[in-house]
Amino acid sequence: MKENLSKIWQKIKYFSLEVFAFLTSKIFIKNFAGVIGMLIVLFFFTTTWLKCYTNHGEAVHMTNYVGKNLLDVKNEAKKKGFQIVVDSIGNTDGNKNLPPLTVLDQDPKPDALVKEKRTVYLAVKKAGYEFVELPQLDGSNESFDVYRKDLMRRGINYTSLYRVDSRVSENTILDIEYKGEKITDQVRDGKYDQVPKFSKTPITIVISKKGYGNTNVPNIVCKTLSEAKLILENNNLTINFEADQTVVDKDNAYVWLQNPAGGSSIRFGEQVKLRLTQNLPDDCDDAINELEAPNDNEEEDDDSGDNEDFN
């Protein structure tokens, strides 16, 4: 019995020594270290690198970018790792007072929980103005009340100027001006499309009104056409002119005949007919000289008047 127990114990002791020798051998230690290293790499892959790659990080609150300038938003988003995609929007009633490149809307919405490297979609007001075509004057909309409704629908700013004109109905559009230039003919042809929406520089609509009573016609013989227009408009009179064969520059051509003549009494808004020639008529020199050089009697009268005042 004792001999059997002794043999068993010897076997156990021998097996233990064999196991110990195996566990302490270089081959086992090398392989064991390799397995541990592989497990560490696998653990790092599943917990760290994979986490970063799939953006399974902690959620953050989305910043509110609405109302900010796009350039500032891009800098902020870059620091937080957000990707920005921009969709431009033109001028509308809701954003006409905002500067260009202002963020109007965003997705995801402000304060929403998002993860890093999320793509943020922004609606941004376009830089510059969106140009539109002026409504064509086609005979059916030449009443200012009708035309201005179309202007408002298209987002075109305007200002109105009234002029006496008895030839047409009251509140009829006489002229359209933009940046000091008359564009009436272009608008009638439907060829003017250079007006920016919601611009701070409005178009000017010249509108007819009824005149009451008479006025004296100013003498505009020897004036240039541009001067004559200004004088007649200031007197609430309209103009019609004919040019002779010499005229190549109408605005700088001279008036050599007018009808009615200067000093005549006509109703407000009536028409003065002019005839133009390119060069200053000969008989205009004497008239200009008389205006520029007062005679000696007038100077003496002025001096005597001054002396009387001093006395």
97-136 residue pLDDT tens:
788 888 989 998 988 888 877 888 998 887 766 778 888 8
Identify whether residues 237 and 289 lie together within a single domain: yes
Q: What is the mean pLDDT of residues 84-109?
A: 80
DSSP 194-252: -EETT-SS-EEEEEEE---SEEEPP--TTSBHHHHHHHHHHTT-EEEEEE-TT-S-GGG
pLDDT at 42 over 70: yes
Measured distance CA(155)–CA(93) in Å, rounded:
8
With beta carbons less than 8 A apart as the criterion, state whether 275 and 228 touch.
no
Measured distance CA(201)–CA(162) in Å, rounded:
19
pLDDT of 307 reads 39
Give the domain extent around 183. Answer: 133-210
Whether residue 269 lies inside any domain: the answer is yes
**What sign results for the dihedral spanned by CA atoms 71, 74, 75, 77?**
positive
Identify whether residues 223 and 272 lie together within a single domain: yes
Identify whether residues 89 and 117 lie together within a single domain: yes
Of 80, 87, 65, 86, which Cα lies nearest the Cα of 115? 80
The strand pairing partners of 175, in sequence order, are 206
Whether residue 165 lies inside any domain: the answer is yes
Tally of domains within the chain: 4
More confident residue, 19 or 56: 19
C-beta atoms surrounding 12 within 10 Å: 10
Identify whether residues 73 and 89 lie together within a single domain: yes
Identify whether residues 180 and 144 lie together within a single domain: yes
Whether residue 310 lies inside any domain: the answer is no
Identify whether residues 300 and 220 lie together within a single domain: yes
Whether residue 228 lies inside any domain: the answer is yes
Looking at every residue in the chain, the average pLDDT score rounds to 79
Percent of the chain scoring above 90 in pLDDT:
17
pLDDT of 91 reads 66
Whether residue 176 lies inside any domain: the answer is yes
Identify whether residues 92 and 140 lie together within a single domain: no
Of 228, 241, 91, 235, which Cα lies nearest the Cα of 157? 91
Say which range, 45-54, 94-103, 140-149, 223-232, has the weakest mean pLDDT: 45-54
150-184 tens-digit pLDDT: 988 888 889 988 887 777 788 899 889 988 888 88
Identify whether residues 142 and 162 lie together within a single domain: yes
Identify whether residues 247 and 290 lie together within a single domain: yes
Whether residue 311 lies inside any domain: the answer is no
pLDDT of 214 reads 83
More confident residue, 261 or 10: 261
Given 154, 182, 210, which residue is the final one in a domain?
A: 210
With beta carbons less than 8 A apart as the criterion, state whether 97 and 133 touch.
no
Identify whether residues 222 and 177 lie together within a single domain: no
Whether residue 105 lies inside any domain: the answer is yes
Given 210, 241, 260, which residue is the final one in a domain?
A: 210
Structure tokens at 152: 């408002």
With beta carbons less than 8 A apart as the criterion, state whether 232 and 238 touch.
yes
CATH code assigned at 74: 3.30.10.20
pLDDT of 224 reads 93
Of 101, 115, 123, 103, which Cα lies nearest the Cα of 62? 115
Identify whether residues 41 and 69 lie together within a single domain: no
Structure tokens at 83: 């990707």
Given 187, 210, 233, which residue is the final one in a domain?
A: 210
Measured distance CA(292)–CA(299) in Å, rounded:
13
With beta carbons less than 8 A apart as the criterion, state whether 195 and 91 touch.
no
pLDDT of 306 reads 41
pTM, two decimal places: 0.45
Whether residue 24 lies inside any domain: the answer is yes
Say which range, 25-29, 92-96, 262-266, has the weakest mean pLDDT: 92-96
231-264 tens-digit pLDDT: 988 888 888 899 999 999 999 999 999 999 999 9
Identify whether residues 279 and 239 lie together within a single domain: yes
